[in-house]
A and B are shown apart, each in its own frame.
Chain A
Amino acid sequence: MALAYVDTARRALDSDLFYSFRRSPATVAAAVVVLVYFFAAGLAPWIAPHNTYDVAILDLSNAFLPPAWTASGKAQFLLGTDDQGRDVLSTIMLGARVSLMVGFAAVLFAAVLGVTLGLVSGYVGGVVDAAIMRVADVMLSFPAILIALLIDGVARGVLPRDLHTRVSVYVLIFSIGLSTWVQYARTVRATTMVEKSKEYVQAARVIGLHPALIMLRHVLPNVLGPVLVIATIGLAIAVLTEATLSFLGVGVPPTQPSLGTLIRIGNNFLFSGEWWMTIVPGAALVVLVLSVNLLGDWLRDALNPKLR
């Protein structure tokens, strides 16, 4: 048993994927950065230096403190404080947590929706396929940000204000997910159509198996790579979209600020010289998205040797 595991591990370390990973220092660095973010964001409620959600401990006399390395900074607030005396480092850790949770949930929603629709579209074909693909075309011609804004606008109109505040995170996940499923659907549909014409599908029918079942077993492994690539780049896009919507003030509620919300708040103080309130969360956002994009790029190149 143990030997088998060692063997598997050795083969994994020897694989082309891992090789291309090791050979690219930028990718390794990106992976480390992403892991640090996951760790810091995941454990933020326990490891953040201050609990910025707790209004009781806020001290307005600590407001607008610049980062610790500047002359008037304080050591306990490494990256400075915001207008309410909240520790910027802590708000970033908690904000990244919100951003990543929304991002992951949106990607999961989009992937499940897209893969399902793609399978159905490719397998059933005919009118169903035409209908799904037409909707996909229209969706694709409207930028994600516009779709997300509209859905949020509608939700704002339909839901009572306090309810909207409570569910706005879900509205956000729904609207980002709904605006990004098309790519998954297209990829899966193409693969499904290729597999459908293969002989084993006909053979399955002959021996009385439901072809859809047998196809699923063949299609899913085939689309795993492309879907993973789309999902990785999708995570970067989802985090960006969330940040943008929050920056525009139609994202997560201000009581649980995401990175975009923090930048929005900081932007109000850009002209009065408190640059760190904008630049620090902005840098945090860009480093995260850049790292995820680097991983996505590497994954795409590694899984598609033709493009190398």
Chain B
Amino acid sequence: MAAYILRRLMQAVIVMLAVGFIAFGMFNFVGDPVTNFIGQDATPEDHERMRAALGLDQPFYVQYARFAANAAQGEFGTSYRLGMKVSAVLAERLPATLELVFAAAAISILVGVPLGVYTGIHRYGLLSRAFLTFSLVGISLPTFLIGILLILVFSVILGWLPSFGRGQVVPVGWWSTGYLTQSGLRSLILPAITLGLFQTTLIMRLVRAEMLEVLRTDYIKFARARGLTERAINFGHALKNTMVPVITIMGLQIGGLIAFAIITETVFQWPGMGLLFLQAIQYADVPVMSCYLILVAMMFVLINLAVDLLYYAVDPRLRADRGAVRGRQV
């Protein structure tokens, strides 16, 4: 157990180091943010003053050391574009994105897994075929278009739900949540569906494929031959084995949600990190870009770690004390 976790932690550290290096590379070598910040018409004196103010006049290794030390303390300097501390800007935007991602993940798992199981068991059923067709349309619809269509129908035509923003938020400690107000929840509906729909169809198709794969295995055939009920076979035996690969992919999918939040936030003008990141790209605002990158990488690593632990709980083959077992085999 300890060795397994330790190995996973080591891998996580390596990934973080690699991402950190890329982030620093961007930070140090990409573009001339001064121009972006103060515009083409600035005087050379303005230019120099700004360089010094942003710390860009220092030699490479000084910047590197400062980057590493600061990053470890969550300090990423000042946004070129906003003139504010990057960490403060991102911390302010973090709750919006995480609440959106959480809602979307909940939708995609709570809807996607049951639909996948259903279509896997009732392979040739009419309803299954309908779900599958719907899912193919789902994966062919780009996220931004889903958002636009939902806005067109529910905001422009019907006028039921707000088309942009987060609604009213209330602070809970340093966190600001939209889950506790009516306008916050109403504002959440369309973006969460937009973000979750694609993942829902993906998870459904994945669960279905795995389910079909598992239902073909010998141990399922043998379970049938033992006369177990269909219920016990489908939900006791097949579903658990299906979940082993599905858990991994779901981890990746939640990572995907964080990335696709960029698009959803743009469509709905949702004040999250994704919207900020996109604006940073358009203005080559490197501190924001690199901080976002590291933050997202950290979330991915944490998700993967959680997935590994879940794996460990589901699959006894990982739990086995291998040395002892081998000695006992006859």
Contacts and interface: CB of A to CB of B under 8 A. Distances in A.
A240 interface: yes
B170 interface: no
A220 interface: no
A285 interface: yes
Contacts of A142: 255, 259, 297, 300
A141, A146, A152, A270 pick with most chain B CB within 10 angstroms: A146
B14 to A, nearest CB: 8
Nearest to A282: B145
Given A143-B259, A244-B142, A244-B263, A250 B282 contact: yes
Contact of A145 (B262, B282, B297, B304): B262
Interface residues of B, number: 47
Contacts of A154: 26, 30
A267 interface: yes
A142, A156, A278, A286 pick with most chain B CB within 10 angstroms: A142
Interface stretch (A62-70, A223-231, A287-295): A287-295
B141 interface: yes
Contacts of B297: 142
A290 B145 contact: no
Contacts of A275: 152
A145 B263 contact: yes
Contacts of B74: none
Contacts of B151: 270
B309 interface: no
Contacts of A260: 142
A153 B263 contact: no
Given A282-B145, A285-B145, A286-B140, A156 B31 contact: yes
B156 A158 contact: no
A221 B243 CA distance: 33
B140 A290 contact: yes
Contacts of B277: 149
A140 interface: yes
A152 B281 contact: yes
A157 B286 contact: yes
Given A153-B280, A275-B152, A247 B144 contact: yes
Contact of A146 (B26, B140, B296): B296
A244 B145 CA distance: 9
A248 B262 contact: yes
B156 A140 contact: no
A279 B146 CA distance: 11
A174 B42 CA distance: 34
A236 B260 CA distance: 17
B129 to A, nearest CB: 11
Given A145-B262, A153-B284, A270-B152, A248 B136 contact: no
Contacts of A149: 262, 277-278, 281
A271 B151 CA distance: 9
B142 A156 contact: no
Contacts of A271: 156
B143 interface: yes
Interface in A14-40: none
A157 B284 contact: yes
B107 interface: no
Interface in B231-273: 252, 255-256, 258-260, 262-263, 266-267
Contacts of B156: 270-271
B50 interface: no
A153 B143 contact: no
B295 interface: no
A286 B141 contact: yes
A263 B30 contact: no
A7 interface: no
B281 A282 contact: no
B214 to A, nearest CB: 13
Contacts of B296: 146
B139 interface: yes
B110 interface: no
A236 B140 CA distance: 8
Given A146-B296, A240-B142, A138 B18 contact: yes
Nearest to A146: B259
Nearest to A243: B142
A224 B293 CA distance: 36
Contacts of B90: none
Contacts of B252: 140-141
A270 B259 CA distance: 25
A286 B140 CA distance: 6
A249 interface: yes
B212 interface: yes
Nearest to A152: B281
29 contacts: A141-B255, A143-B255, A143-B256, A143-B260, A146-B259, A146-B262, A146-B296, A149-B281, A150-B289, A153-B26, A153-B30, A154-B26, A156-B281, A157-B33, A157-B284, A240-B140, A240-B142, A248-B263, A248-B266, A248-B278, A249-B282, A250-B278, A263-B144, A271-B156, A275-B152, A290-B136, A290-B137, A307-B209, A307-B212
Given A138-B15, A140-B252, 20 more contacts: A138-B18, A146-B259, A150-B289, A153-B281, A154-B26, A157-B26, A158-B29, A158-B31, A244-B142, A247-B263, A248-B263, A250-B278, A270-B148, A270-B151, A271-B156, A285-B142, A289-B140, A294-B136, A306-B216, A307-B212
Interface of A: 138, 140-143, 145-146, 149-150, 152-154, 156-158, 236, 240, 243-244, 247-250, 260, 263, 267, 270-271, 275, 278-279, 282, 285-286, 289-290, 293-294, 297, 306-307
Interface of B: 15, 18, 26, 29-31, 33, 136-137, 139-145, 148-149, 151-152, 156, 209, 212, 216, 252, 255-256, 258-260, 262-263, 266-267, 277-278, 280-282, 284, 286, 289, 293, 296-297, 300, 304
